[in-house]
Structure 1
Amino acid sequence: MVAKVAIVTGANSGMGLETTIGLVNKNVKVIMLCRSKIRGEAALQKVKAITGKENVDLMLCDLSSIKSIDDFVATFSSKYHHLDLLINNAGVVTIKRQETVDGFEMMLGVNHLGHFHLTNQLLEALKASAAARIVIVSSGAHKWGKIDFSDPFFKKSFNVAKGYGRSKLANLLFMKGLHERVAHTNVTVNALHPGAVATNIGVDRETGFGGKVVKLLVPFFKTAEQGAETAIYLATSADVEGISGEYFIDKKKAPVSKRASDPQLIEHFWRWSIDQTTL
């Protein structure tokens, strides 16, 4: 019996690491997709030590770079002929406006456009699976998110809350648009809100700024392990077999904002995303 193959983005810490551990314990072959080789290798050894299993691998990819994504997909395709599970987990929060190497505002660039391009490039591998599942980690922050096509990358005025909300709304618009496109295939796609989770998402990756705030909030938030439960559920449970195009909170279907379910916005945003990622 061929083991299921999964990719987890942002797998070296927080919910990504816990999702990896959960899947490896279910005998899924997990590819940890990480930006940093040093942090990725440390996390890889941690997963092996915790699970006592070897069905886990590390591959490098910077989701803020279209070229890096293309290079990863080429490497993956040379090693694997199918993909069963894709967990789009990685996310960033930037206090100040930053840009990716391709000129995208960092949060929309990584949280949405990087995953959008990665997923589309992996669709053939997913379709080669008997029954593939895509799981997108969004957030309740999508409810205050708005898409401004006249200034999508906040060049005029940046606000961290608006930027994060926009990127999380983008996750759901992507999920809904992808659902329509894979509706008659063996691929399903769902999204989730993990709850308020104490992770390093808001900690500056270069300076460590924000780390003390995270430590103060830990007693009031879910642990990363608890936050990963719904992602693991959507990836593996028989309860959601064949279910697609839905948004989940605590393993239950939940409503999305009106914007996130607007058919015209979903299609317009899909076409815009294609234009941005076709470099």
Structure 2
Amino acid sequence: MELAVVTGANSGIGEQIATGLARHGASVVLVARNRDRLEATRRRIAAIAPGVDLTVEPVDLAELDEVRGLAERLAGRDPSIVVSNAAVIAPLDDRTPAGLHRSLATNHLAPYLLLRTLAERPSPRPRRFVVVGGSPRGLRRVPVDLDDLNAETGRGLGWPPSFRPFAAYARTKNMNAMFVYGLAGRLRGTSTTVNGAHPGIISGGRLNRHDRGALRVFGSVLGAFSPGTETGADTPLWLATAAEVDGVSGRFYVKRRAVQTAGHTTDPERVERLWRESARLVGLPE
């Protein structure tokens, strides 16, 4: 039986992806910060897919030491599917004890550390890694500031101030695409694939729980006209399970179609520099 891992699995798109994997027959590890919410999610999925093995991993993905521990535990179980879905739009002054902006740590550094650690452990079976990113079209205007990954200067984050956390979040979503390309290049010739996916603009998740001011109003209006979490889960779940993408790696998908992301995400020098800076921030060799 396949073992699948889903981060951000306690609600929204993550719960829908985990439910789909359970229906697919996989054993599923549910990863999120709050144990009580995870247990409630586990019970909901168990009612839909009775008999499927479901375990919970209460981990704060903004805390890199906790991510390291999770990676070590999962490496021993050798998952064949890992879906990195967890994300947050955090205020710019929301910093971890290590001084990292919570959006950077949760949205980019955690999947970098987790997937890279798992990728570097040889596996006798094919593996699929899926990174849930953002809209390639919408993110063209917010290139990653490689001199300010941690959003310490606020440079280029725009106006009004209430939208700046969203701009910082958008940069981390571009980092997701760049990480996919960097990891796929390193995995070339192996049986492990990695691809990115945009779930679409959806309603029903908890991504916007920290929004304030004009950003909260904008999110409420947008959400009123957006499809639900089941629609958002479709492409990531398809990438994790579909036979037609077997062996495909290093691509980014929207509505099950491979698309081009912005040139600033595919530039090899920028991709490699992000890899090096991320390695430094998480304490891994380049």
> TM-score w.r.t. structure 2 length?
0.88
Measure, in 1, the Cα distance between the counterparts of 2:75 and 2:256.
32
Aligned residues: CA RMSD: 2.1
C-alpha change, 1:202 and 1:219, in structure 2 (3 Å) is closer
C-alpha change, 1:109 and 1:55, in structure 2 (3 Å) is same
3-state SS of paired residue (2:147):
coil
- What runs of 5+ residues in structure 2 fail to find an aligned partner? 158-163
Measure, in 2, the Cα distance between the counterparts of 1:5 and 1:142.
32
Question: What is the one-letter code of the residue matched to 1:150?
Answer: D
In the other structure, the counterpart of 1:155 is 152
In the other structure, the counterpart of 1:171 is 176
Kindly state the Cα deviation for residue 53 of structure 1 after the two structures are TM-superposed: 3.3
Question: What is the one-letter code of the residue matched to 1:18?
Answer: Q
Counterpart contact for 2:92–2:101, Cα < 8 Å: no
In the other structure, the counterpart of 2:206 is 200
In the other structure, the counterpart of 2:143 is 146
The structure 2 residue matched to 1:28, chosen from 26, 29, 34, is: 26
Q: How big is each residue's C-alpha offset from its partner over 1:134-192, in whole Å with a ceiling of 9 and x where there is no partner?
A: 00000014322222233222222262232012101100110000000001111000001
C-alpha change, 1:246 and 1:59, in structure 2 (3 Å) is same
Measure, in 1, the Cα distance between the counterparts of 2:249 and 2:283.
26
Q: Say which is worse superposed, 113-122 or 9-18, in terms of deviation.
A: 113-122
Counterpart contact for 1:60–1:72, Cα < 8 Å: no
Kindly state the Cα deviation for residue 55 of structure 1 after the two structures are TM-superposed: 2.0
Question: What is the one-letter code of the residue matched to 1:240?
Answer: V
C-alpha change, 1:211 and 1:33, in structure 2 (3 Å) is farther
Structure 1 residues 59-78: aligned runs within 5 Å: 59-78=57-76
3-state SS of paired residue (1:228):
helix
Counterpart contact for 1:145–1:164, Cα < 8 Å: no
Kindly state the Cα deviation for residue 193 of structure 1 after the two structures are TM-superposed: 0.8
In the other structure, the counterpart of 2:128 is 133
Runs of 4+ in 1 over 6 A off after TM superposition: 210-215
In the other structure, the counterpart of 1:263 is 268
Counterpart contact for 1:144–1:162, Cα < 8 Å: no
Q: How big is each residue's C-alpha offset from its partner over 1:215-271, in whole Å with a ceiling of 9 and x where there is no partner?
A: 665441121011000011000001101111101000111110011110100011101
Measure, in 1, the Cα distance between the counterparts of 2:69 and 2:195.
26
- What runs of 5+ residues in structure 1 fail to find an aligned partner? none
Question: What is the one-letter code of the residue matched to 2:127?
Answer: A
In the other structure, the counterpart of 2:118 is 122
Counterpart contact for 2:265–2:271, Cα < 8 Å: yes
Measure, in 2, the Cα distance between the counterparts of 1:114 and 1:239.
29
> TM-score w.r.t. structure 1 length?
0.90
Q: How big is each residue's C-alpha offset from its partner over 1:43-83, in whole Å with a ceiling of 9 and x where there is no partner?
A: 111111122233211112111011111222233345x2x21
C-alpha change, 1:222 and 1:43, in structure 2 (3 Å) is same
In the other structure, the counterpart of 1:110 is 106
3-state SS of paired residue (1:98):
coil
Question: What is the one-letter code of the residue matched to 2:184?
Answer: H
Measure, in 1, the Cα distance between the counterparts of 2:261 and 2:8.
24
> Percent identity over the alignment?
27
In the other structure, the counterpart of 1:93 is 89
In the other structure, the counterpart of 2:282 is 277
Question: What is the one-letter code of the residue matched to 1:268?
Answer: R
Measure, in 2, the Cα distance between the counterparts of 1:218 and 1:265.
33
Measure, in 1, the Cα distance between the counterparts of 2:90 and 2:125.
39
Measure, in 1, the Cα distance between the counterparts of 2:186 and 2:98.
26
Counterpart contact for 2:25–2:52, Cα < 8 Å: no
